Chain A
Amino acid sequence: MRGGSLWQLGQSITRRLAQSDKKAVSRRYFASDADLKKTALYDFHVAHGGKMVPFAGWSMPIQYKDSIIDSTVNCRVNGSLFDVAHMCGLSLKGKDCVPFLETLVVADVAGLAPGTGSLTVFTNEKGGAIDDSVITKVTDEHIYLVVNAGCRDKDLAHIEEHMKAFKSKGGDVSWHIHDERSLLALQGPLAAPVLQHLTKEDLSKLYFGQFQILDINGSTCFLTRTGYTGEDGFEISVPSENAVDLAKAILEKSEGKVRLTGLGARDSLRLEAGLCLYGNDMEQHISPVEAGLTWAIGKRRRAEGGFLGADVILKQLQDGPTIRRVGFFSSGPPARSHSEVHDESGNKIGEITSGGFSPNLKKNIAMGYVKSGQHKTGTKVKILVRGKPYEGNITKMPFVATKYYKPS
């Protein structure tokens, strides 16, 4: 899901590959520094050695003084603190906010217990994904959701358009976009012990997918036990004026073991966890069924529909989708987005949508789509990198086992 469109960053860096006369990093991606938005932690990042790059219209740290590889490993050994304030948090309120949201997403929102949430997909009329999002039912009249930075304008316009129509028919729903808050993500084995130092609430009772509004380090925060790394961890929505203090407190309480971590490592971590990056692994023309997110479509929703593109999606559930998202291991250079996948006889059977070197597994990992029927684990494939085929095989995801905190 989250992390927004890292592909935009990838495009600007890998544009170099298309330039046959130059090899160095094109300086042009620093050209519009002045137009970039800054989070509440911008100066904090710079002071900590953050290497700032443009990302979805924001100036965000891609890494700090440690390498992306070291940073990725450290998250799973100790922990990481990410600034994800570029992502967009919003609240839907009103008596009808639940049925309203159900017209736009595949989740069984009505069936969520208060204080619980889930990953979901906003769909379009063709059953494709507009964005993925973590939604939480705070109460029957309040839903809190977070959408990708790169999709903010698109998502808000989409929600607003449908909200207007819904209200014109007498529905009671309104929204509030939380631009006064900043989202931080704390992930890894030390996340819970460190955060426990900063709050009186018993975090051992907050399980994966659950939500609470509580005091952390002296300010009222929205806390969700979720993340984008596969590790146990939290996303903390803090009033922006308290964001720096909270970040400082977290780092101090961990005695330096939890490190500020940038978007470079965040992408490696989510890939290791087998999580989609909207813009790469999920797009307008890919349905949640194709993306392997059938589990996110509520049972009742599969029977009733009632969301955009339901007819297409329900048919895919019945007949099976024609393509499926799978994981790959490969030899040679790491497979990257848009690399072709061939069967052993050289016929094209699919395409890579995300790939790279896994710092924790020390091998190449990738995800992509292949024709249904060719998608079984163990299937041998050839992946084309710069025109040359390299051996690979299809594998299950996550690549690195997840450690979500669930009741035993």
Chain B
Amino acid sequence: ISSLLGEDKTQSKKEKKMALRMWASSTANALKLSSHVSKSHLSPAFSISRCFSSVLEGLKYANSHEWVKHEGSVATIGITDHAQGHLGEVVFVELPEENGSVSKEKNFGAVESVKATSEILSPISGEVIEVNKKLTESPGLINSSPYEDGWMIKVKPSNPAELETLMGPKEYT
């Protein structure tokens, strides 16, 4: 077990215990050792792993595994490392048009992996000001860089109070 948990000595006992509990409850997660943790550009405040997926500080999270990065009047949205890990290799992404609108907890697109399709729900409401066009050619960016190059849409939030209802990194984990 210790070899699966890795040699990260900065993990606290509590984090190790939590990881162990999660491993025990879902063996498939334990087998998916997130190699993406080392690949993606993590912010310096990299924190606890959720079943070995990475969860970043500074982001808000929805129960349905989307993340939101709020910077000034723009909110960037994508799906978490945990979500992309479960989906497997993404082969197609369906995104809304720019200037369209999204609503909190409503579906705005879909992510197709080799074996399955998943809807993506918007954590907040607002106007879509930009869509990540790179995902048309390279849908795999969602797997290799779920928090950075794999971002999906940028939204102008219509109701900033919604951000307060989302989870922080600790709650998401």
Contacts and interface: CB of A to CB of B under 8 A. Distances in A.
A30 B26 contact: yes
A264 B114 contact: yes
Nearest to A59: B27
A317 interface: no
Contacts of A27: 26
A256 interface: no
Interface in A59-114: 62-63, 67-69
B170 interface: no
B117 A336 contact: yes
B83 A386 contact: no
Nearest to B26: A30
Contacts of A30: 26-28
B97 interface: no
Given A67-B89, A69-B89, A356-B115, A53 B64 contact: no
A22 interface: yes
Interface of A: 9-10, 13-14, 16-17, 20-25, 27, 30, 33, 46, 49-53, 62-63, 67-69, 264, 267-268, 332-334, 336, 356-357, 359, 386
Closest 7 CB pairs of A and B: A357-B91, A25-B86, A13-B116, A23-B64, A24-B65, A68-B114, A333-B92
Nearest to B110: A386
B133 interface: no
Interface of B: 26-28, 31-32, 63-66, 79, 82-83, 86-89, 91-92, 94, 105, 107, 110, 112, 114-121
Contacts of B110: 333, 386
A50 B26 CA distance: 14
A26 B51 CA distance: 15
A14 B117 contact: yes
A24 B32 CA distance: 16
Nearest to B111: A23
A324 to B, nearest CB: 27
A16 B26 contact: no
Contacts, number: 90
A333 B94 contact: yes
Given A22-B64, A357-B91, A46 B31 contact: yes
Which of B83, B94, B118 has the most chain A CB within a 10 Å cutoff? Answer: B118
Contacts of B64: 21-24
A17 B87 contact: no
A269 to B, nearest CB: 12
A9 B65 CA distance: 22
Nearest to B32: A51
A56 to B, nearest CB: 16
Contact of B114 (A22, A268, A333): A268
A163 B31 CA distance: 45
A23 B31 contact: no
A333 B112 contact: yes
A207 to B, nearest CB: 33
B28 A23 contact: no
Which of A13, A14, A24, A267 has the most chain B CB within a 10 Å cutoff? Answer: A24
Contacts of A10: 115-116
Contact of B115 (A17, A20, A68): A68
Nearest to A53: B28
B133 to A, nearest CB: 16
Nearest to B94: A333
30 contacts: A10-B115, A20-B107, A23-B64, A23-B79, A23-B83, A23-B118, A25-B86, A27-B26, A30-B27, A30-B28, A33-B27, A49-B31, A50-B31, A51-B28, A67-B114, A68-B88, A68-B89, A68-B115, A69-B91, A69-B114, A264-B88, A264-B114, A332-B92, A334-B112, A336-B117, A356-B114, A356-B115, A359-B114, A386-B110, A386-B117
B114 A23 contact: no
A51 B119 CA distance: 23
B115 A21 contact: no
Given A30-B27, A332-B92, A334-B91, A24 B82 contact: yes
B35 to A, nearest CB: 9
